[in-house]
Amino acid sequence: MTNTLLILPGDGIGPEVMAEVTRIIDWFGARRGLKFGVSEDLVGGAAYDVHGVPLADATMARAQQVDAVLLGAVGGPKYDSLDFSVKPERGLLRLRKEMDLFANLRPAQCFDALADFSSLKRDVVSGLDIMIVRELTSGVYFGEPRGIFEENGQRVGINTQRYTESEIDRVARAAFELARKRGNKVCSMEKANVMESGILWREVVQAVHDADYPDVELSHMYADAGGMQLCRWPKQFDVIVTDNLFGDLLSDVAAMLTGSLGMLPSASLGAPRANGRPKALYEPVHGSAPDIAGQGKANPCACILSFAMALRYSFDQGDEATRLEQAVEKVLADGVRTADLMQAEGATPVSTRGMGDAILAALD
């Protein structure tokens, strides 16, 4: 089977960090015999500049056909005054929506060399490796009715939390499948104590477990307690599955347990395509960082680790993904740092290219 990959560098530091990923993709082709059919296209402001829209129809069609889309970042001050309908972020939203990427995977993994960047004590986070699976296409961000309405002479703001059984079922399955490739443990989080959608969530997750994943250890937790436990002793978790709103909050909390934005990858997965591989979009958690764009300062690790996730979840190359993650870990342990990872005064940071060079050297 050929491995197809669509690269969308986007705006700001997107193209800078993606240039390093491209070199790493080439390394896997040359040294590990992993050939990728790579194509590149425009998204965000870069697409707006050329097409007048943040994602052209032709790009959308290509994204639907490839095994994995790898995106840099979108947005920037140049586009802030654009109409909402053509804002760079809309390009990314269109990709997520039309590919129906319902499972957002956000790992929180602590590289030992960076444990002191955490807001928590070293022994609480060192060795941490958890995965938050956030439902991404339904829930309170999409439910109807929504809006601001007039009622009895005052305005009322309304959003609706809404989940169907099938929406819960498919994201639960994604979480159980992942758990089997990791620590075999899932904790499902909702507020079944105060929300009917939470009661249904808990029932469906339990039913999916009992029917098809009885070998995976399943627990349930109220999401507010989950937030506390994430800060108290995060290593108790392996995979956490939760809805769109709670997942938004909890994944940001988990992210900060491990330190820098420049290190955080993500994946968004949809239903399997004809070849059995899921529709998939991989991207760093960070944005286009206009404050450092064009200066060669950006940390490419988040984007590189997003490609490692693609190796594992789209191309079934878990060993090669681990190889790449270990190269990043080694480089950090050797003290190689981009500016965002500097703590000591007076030390010299490496450039984006310098970090790419070091990771390639570690891979060799």
For residue 75, state whether it binds ligand NAI (rule: CB under 6 A).
yes
Q: Dig out the tokens for 128 from the structure.
A: 């941490």
Quick check: is 252 catalytic? yes
88 is in an annotated binding site: yes
- From the list ligand NAI, Mg ion, none, pick the one residue 316 interacts with, judged by a Cβ distance below 5 to 8 Å according to partner type: none
Q: Which helix (H) or strand (E) holds 16?
A: helix 14-32
292 is in an annotated binding site: yes
Nearest to 135 by CA among 227, 248, 218, 217: 248
For Mg ion, which is the closer residue by CB, 100 or 248?
A: 248
Residues 6+ apart with CB under 8 A from 354: 336, 338
How far out from the chain centre does Cα 257 lie? 16
For residue 188, state whether it binds ligand NAI (rule: CB under 6 A).
no
- By CB under 6 A, the residues from 17 to 46 that bind ligand NAI are 17
Quick check: is 319 catalytic? no
Helix, coil or strand: residue 355: helix
Quick check: is 224 catalytic? yes
CB of 252 to ligand NAI, least distance (A): 11
For ligand NAI, which is the closer residue by CB, 116 or 212?
A: 116
Q: Which of 11, 67, 163, 191 is catalytic?
A: 191
For ligand NAI, which is the closer residue by CB, 143 or 354?
A: 354
CA 314/CA 308 separation, integer angstroms: 10
- From the list Mg ion, ligand NAI, none, pick the one residue 341 interacts with, judged by a Cβ distance below 5 to 8 Å according to partner type: none
The residue of the chain with the least Cβ separation from ligand NAI equals 287
Q: Which of 224, 316, 330, 357 is catalytic?
A: 224
For ligand NAI, which is the closer residue by CB, 205 or 358?
A: 358
254 is in an annotated binding site: no
CA 84/CA 82 separation, integer angstroms: 6
CB of 363 to ligand NAI, least distance (A): 20
For residue 291, state whether it binds ligand NAI (rule: CB under 6 A).
yes
- From the list Mg ion, ligand NAI, none, pick the one residue 279 interacts with, judged by a Cβ distance below 5 to 8 Å according to partner type: none
Q: Which of 248, 316, 330, 357 is catalytic?
A: 248
- From the list Mg ion, ligand NAI, none, pick the one residue 130 interacts with, judged by a Cβ distance below 5 to 8 Å according to partner type: none
The residue of the chain with the least Cβ separation from Mg ion equals 248
Cα torsion 113, 116, 120, 121: sign: positive
Quick check: is 123 catalytic? no
146 is in an annotated binding site: no
For residue 281, state whether it binds ligand NAI (rule: CB under 6 A).
no
Residue 158 sits at φ, ψ, to 5 deg, of -130, 130
CA 73/CA 298 separation, integer angstroms: 12
Give the binding site for Mg ion (CB under 5 A).
248, 252
* Among 8, 55, 74, 331, contact with ligand NAI (rule: CB under 6 A): 74
Quick check: is 248 catalytic? yes
For residue 292, state whether it binds ligand NAI (rule: CB under 6 A).
yes
Q: For 126-271, where are the alpha helices, taking DSSP H only?
A: 165-180, 196-212, 223-232, 244-257
Question: Which long-range contacts (C-beta less than 8 Å, at least 24 apart) are formed by 114-121?
Answer: 114/258, 114/259, 114/260, 114/263, 114/332, 114/341, 115/259, 116/343, 117/258, 117/259, 117/260, 117/341, 117/343, 118/256, 118/257, 118/258, 118/259, 119/256, 119/257, 120/231, 120/234, 120/257
302 is in an annotated binding site: no
Q: Which helix (H) or strand (E) holds 14?
A: helix 14-32
Assess contact for 352 and 17: CB atoms under 8 A.
yes
Cβ atoms within 10 Å of 158's Cβ, excluding its own: 12
Residues that bind ligand NAI (CB under 6 A): 13, 17, 73-76, 89, 92, 261-262, 283, 286-292, 298-299, 302, 340
Annotated binding site for Mg(2+): 224, 248, 252
Question: Among all residues, which ones are annotated catalytic?
Answer: 141, 191, 224, 248, 252
